[in-house]
Homo-oligomer: A and B are copies of this chain.
């Protein structure tokens, strides 16, 4: 795979303007602060290829479900992530020539996303008419210190001429989604106003009536002295602007700073969003650019202190893992209980909705191990708060007595995805939600959570499974018909091994919790029924060996491997019709192996190896969620070459655009999987009952691996190289861990060295 951009341990760097990479770059250089986020669109007018995108967390439009054929039980709507008011815009004209990188000659171009500091900068020198050259230095960040604040600054320096600059500093609320039908506008105009050096645009979403206001204050300086000029103000419903006309002199630097407050009523419908946005912008201007920047950097410093992974000896891997950690914390910080982690974060519109099983299966372990347990608890509470809607959802599909089916995609607990084979049948998501509760308790020992909240989620899920299984006279076992497993290249199959396995586990774990917590919430007849299912669950398996079959009939397929595919067939989802994909053997993402990964203890190393060797060659990894799981298993099986290759694929999936879709946005949720593949794979770290198991297997390329880990809210520092590792307990309590079957204690503030 060719790298798209330059390699740097802490930065994403692009040193050349290439329109063909612009859409990918807009995604990859995206910035956000957990509350809102912005693709790396240019501030100034740009006539090249672009996907404009500024997204506000939790704000969506319920697009009417459009399908050729309505089926009973379909959700009312499909939740679209909305492109919101453009807050970065500053159009520039020099001597009446509109600045547009796509039109002028680019003398130099340097774009940098500084991941340590969370800052996007772009320095461009353009040659205008008459060989006039101008240098522009853009700086932008979405403040992590005040998550309703965004800042844009541009320095303009005429290098070899003097002349006239016109800068149009604007807010534009009339923005469209690229995926809207018939250019439908999803926003209504509410109010706007424009004065000298300030103004706001307030809009509200159609149907959902979310209200947002974006307010700006701006400033113009020359060589750091504020200029006193009178802007022309312009206002037209969704659009406001200040137009500045300045005589600029050769080699002097003109600086425009735009302080933007963005407020929404997501958490409190009574919020006076207009006032709040105005206040934020005003206060920000008073505090000033440098102070705001330093506060922002400080927050990132704190995050990195806990969550950085240092890889010595491998710059690509290092850049990859930091990119993933950076994007995750840009997307979700655990501060707002209404938010969750959308698959594209703030980097694109695609998929819609905010919450997928990705959250529980991939992201929760990441936050559990890199942040205070409150963050993971917040994610669990999000599902607990939506239990009623999950019960309602199951009811629509014919289940009763409190059975709960969590939605495949949601913004607020309602299902908002509209493919029957996914919405109705990809029910394994219920399993991941139960597993996340288990995982959380293993890390934190927080049984109170289970007693007060989690058990109700578990019971709803267990009831669903008990009703979804049916007895097969033919097999004399409980079977589960008509499901879609994690491998979405199979639809409506019978007895998906993974789904049957995790369903049985859910029943079992729920019974364990009820017993352990001594709770009488289920009647004995139902417990008997669950027990009967647990004892007689059908799990398809190949005769005479240890291969678990992905589903009934899997062996009827033409037995090929990925090596049999021609280059022009890849990715198959862009080149093959859906029926061909479905009946082929090729696997989109870990399915049986996802189960073996979750329930590692339940299987022997031989079983793990046999299944890995059977399924990995058939897996095309066309889901971003796939290579990380395979990487972890490969590392556990000491297949370091494969593990490393898969790790690179997962960590640099978007950076190197493996799946040819980075233009549409990044794969945010799978980035947590990358982190897991380092920690659980190469570092071999697992947590069971708040204890730690370490069994490192580093790739040859890596000299040293350093990272922090939160266990039971204790912070551990771990450093690993090829024959030695160190655990340093930064927390308040004792942590016990094992390595190669020996147990070690690390007391608080103590260091343990182990050589092997």
Contacts and interface: CB of A to CB of B under 8 A. Distances in A.
A472 B555 contact: yes
A473 B557 CA distance: 8
Given A398-B577, A417-B68, A579-B424, A553 B182 contact: no
A279 interface: no
A73 interface: yes
A481 B493 CA distance: 11
Interface of A, secondary structure class, is: loop
A491 B555 CA distance: 19
A529 to B, nearest CB: 15
Interface in A496-526: none
A575 B68 contact: no
Interface string A548-566: 0000110111110000000
Contacts of A68: 65-67, 78, 417-419
Given A470-B558, A481-B583, A556-B472, A419 B576 contact: no
A481 B397 contact: no
Given A182-B182, A425-B579, A492 B492 contact: yes
A567 interface: no
A131 to B, nearest CB: 48
Interface string A450-492: 0000000000000000000011111100010110000000011
A579 B73 contact: yes
Given A472-B556, A558-B471, A71 B417 contact: no
A531 interface: no
A72 interface: yes
A558 B72 CA distance: 21
Given A473-B559, A558-B470, A577-B72, A582 B65 contact: no
A283 interface: no
A65 B68 CA distance: 7
A634 to B, nearest CB: 27
A470 B398 contact: no
Contact of A420 (B417, B424, B474, B578): B578
A573 interface: yes
Interface in A283-309: none
Nearest to A474: B555
Given A67-B67, A425-B579, A578-B420, A481 B557 contact: yes
Contacts of A425: 579
A398 B555 contact: no
A483 B425 CA distance: 18
A578 B66 CA distance: 16
A396 interface: yes
A470 B493 CA distance: 18
Contacts of A576: 72-73, 398
Nearest to A554: B474
Interface in A379-431: 396-398, 417-421, 424-425
A420 B72 contact: no
A751 to B, nearest CB: 52
Nearest to A558: B470
Nearest to A352: B68
Given A66-B66, A181-B66, A481-B583, A72 B578 contact: yes
23 contacts: A66-B66, A66-B67, A66-B68, A68-B417, A68-B418, A68-B419, A71-B578, A72-B576, A72-B578, A182-B182, A398-B576, A398-B580, A420-B579, A421-B491, A425-B579, A470-B557, A472-B555, A473-B555, A473-B559, A475-B556, A481-B582, A492-B582, A494-B553
